Amino acid sequence: MYKTAIDYSFGLFIGGEWIEKDEKDTVLNKYTQEVFAKTAATEEQDVKRAVKSAKEAFSKPFSQYERYGVLLKVAQLLRSNQEEFARAIAEEVGKPITEARGEVERSALTLEISAEESKRIHGEEIPVQAAPGSENRKAFTRRYPVGIVAAITPFNVPLNLVCHKIGPAIAAGNSVILKPAEQTPVSSLLLTRLFEEAGLPKGRLSVLTGKGEDVGPLLTSNQEINMFTFTGSPKVGLLIREQAGLRNVALELGNNSATIVHNDADIEQAAKLVAQKSFNNAGQVCISVQRVYVHEEIYEEFLSKVCEATEQIKLGDPLEEDTQMGPMIAEEEAMRVERWVNEAVEAGAKVATGGARKGVFYHPTVLTNVNDNMKVCRQEVFGPVVAIDTYREEDEVITRVNDSDYGLQAGLFTNNMSFVMKAMDGIHVGGLIVNDTSGYRVDHMPYGGVKKSGTGKEGPRYAIEEMTEEKIIVLNN
């Protein structure tokens, strides 16, 4: 039997100290299904302590240059410990080790960008003197940290999405309380140790592990928390929004991402990228390619190339260097994907390749003959399934892309400038990616959705805007 080399046990991290608990939750290696870590369960008094220490820390000076220094130091430490972090991510998520290494590198980058942005927080001059009667006045705005930010994160990108919240929150001068996903808390707890080593002042970061339905309401009901930043499912996002009341909430939610492949596209390149971005992390990515609309003139060639690339994907142990796709997060999730695919097939869809489940693995699957009302098209699959359909007219395909509750990102392969211009204005999403799939993201770009995909943007500069309050200062002489 496969044996994990590292076993972890963590307490809660509150006010700069690790608090041990008798009762522990277990974290499974998603491939072997063996316990590889234990984490503590948060209770009400822990949330109160975390909030108290966050408030105390917030009342003490922590200059922009000091924030820059700590964030940069953690980025450096992350890089020098890349292998331990990558291994933890591979085990807790089931993500291939090569992808996990990429996540660690991107996390370091996210912290580095946050460090840089901590020195660039500024307001602007407002020409109040232009108003009649205000000739003697001058005005400018300044940005102030909101205070205490609670960050709640999902399982699929457990380190980088945590960095996208902690990095900007600290850069902006806030105290932050993190609640990582219960399936994948290990990499964020290892990151917490690096913040400790880098000298982050006590109370500026607390990490409270446990089940979302237990810890979430303890956080939202605490009125001293000033802001919630959440990445996860629309269902939980809505709950948090309802419970937060008038407090600021940033929501990064789901999507059923579409990508269009037009008749002038580089078919080879588009097929390669679609196969890659449909099945990265077993399709458990919020911008995973789920709906592909291909112009009917190139459909056959495109489909055969996507299937060819898909069939080459090597499934296996995430810790093996040549594994390209690992298991899903849990067997129930693989079973749910299986049900959705079977339901689509009963309604007339065809499985071009894949369509099989083995325990927690679901094979990379390409569906054709789909219609937009099947669950595999209309809802978020969050699994390794892509549905490919044809279109004839530009306007028709734009309407179909928009016929979705979601709007995070979309992709469009074409060099036809008038189609690009039409899509740019007509597709209702947070980001349109031309000559690539919906799955493109770098960490300093503004990232976030419209409709049920959420509100607010991430990317350190944009997250800092969400996590600060703008104040206008008017000087009268």
Contacts with ligand NAD by CB under 6 A lie at 152-157, 161, 179, 181-182, 212-213, 216, 231-233, 236, 239-240, 252-255, 286, 380, 382, 408, 454
Residue type, 379: Q
Which residues are known catalytic residues?
252, 286
Closest to 171 (Cα-Cα) out of 251, 60, 61, 71: 71
| Nearest residue (CB) to ligand NAD, 361 versus 382 | 382
| Nearest residue (CB) to ligand NAD, 62 versus 406 | 406
What residue ranges in 320-399 does DSSP mark as E strands?
350-353, 357-358, 361-362, 365-368, 385-391
Distances (CA, A) of 106 to 102, 160, 294, 393, 439: 6, 7, 31, 38, 15
Helix crossing, 299-311 with 267-279: angle to 10°? 50
The least CB distance from residue 460 to ligand NAD, in Å, is 14
- Percent helix, strand and coil across the chain, each to the nearest 5: 40, 25, 40
* Strand-pair partners of 87: none
Rounded to an integer, what is the distance from CA 335 to the centroid of its chain? 23
| Nearest residue (CB) to ligand NAD, 259 versus 414 | 259
Task: Evaluate whether 442 touches 279 at the Cβ level (below 8 Å).
Answer: no
| Nearest residue (CB) to ligand NAD, 201 versus 431 | 431
The least CB distance from residue 281 to ligand NAD, in Å, is 10
Task: Evaluate whether 158 touches 184 at the Cβ level (below 8 Å).
Answer: yes
The least CB distance from residue 382 to ligand NAD, in Å, is 5
Task: Evaluate whether 214 touches 42 at the Cβ level (below 8 Å).
Answer: yes
| Nearest residue (CB) to ligand NAD, 290 versus 414 | 290
| Nearest residue (CB) to ligand NAD, 179 versus 305 | 179
Q: Which uninterrupted H or E stretch holds 125?
A: strand 125-126
> In whole angstroms, what is the distance from residue 18 CA to residue 37 CA?
16
Q: Quick one: DSSP state of residue 116?
A: H
| Nearest residue (CB) to ligand NAD, 151 versus 172 | 151
Beta strand 35-40 with 8-9 is parallel
Which two three-digit tokens encode residue 118?
A: 């901590």
| Nearest residue (CB) to ligand NAD, 188 versus 323 | 188
Which two three-digit tokens encode residue 34?
A: 């063996």
The least CB distance from residue 220 to ligand NAD, in Å, is 7
The least CB distance from residue 216 to ligand NAD, in Å, is 2
The least CB distance from residue 285 to ligand NAD, in Å, is 7
The least CB distance from residue 459 to ligand NAD, in Å, is 10
User: DSSP alpha helices (H): ranges in 123-233?
Assistant: 160-171, 186-197, 212-220
Task: Evaluate whether 367 touches 385 at the Cβ level (below 8 Å).
Answer: yes
> In whole angstroms, what is the distance from residue 327 CA to residue 320 CA?
13
Which two three-digit tokens encode residue 323?
A: 């594994």
The least CB distance from residue 185 to ligand NAD, in Å, is 9
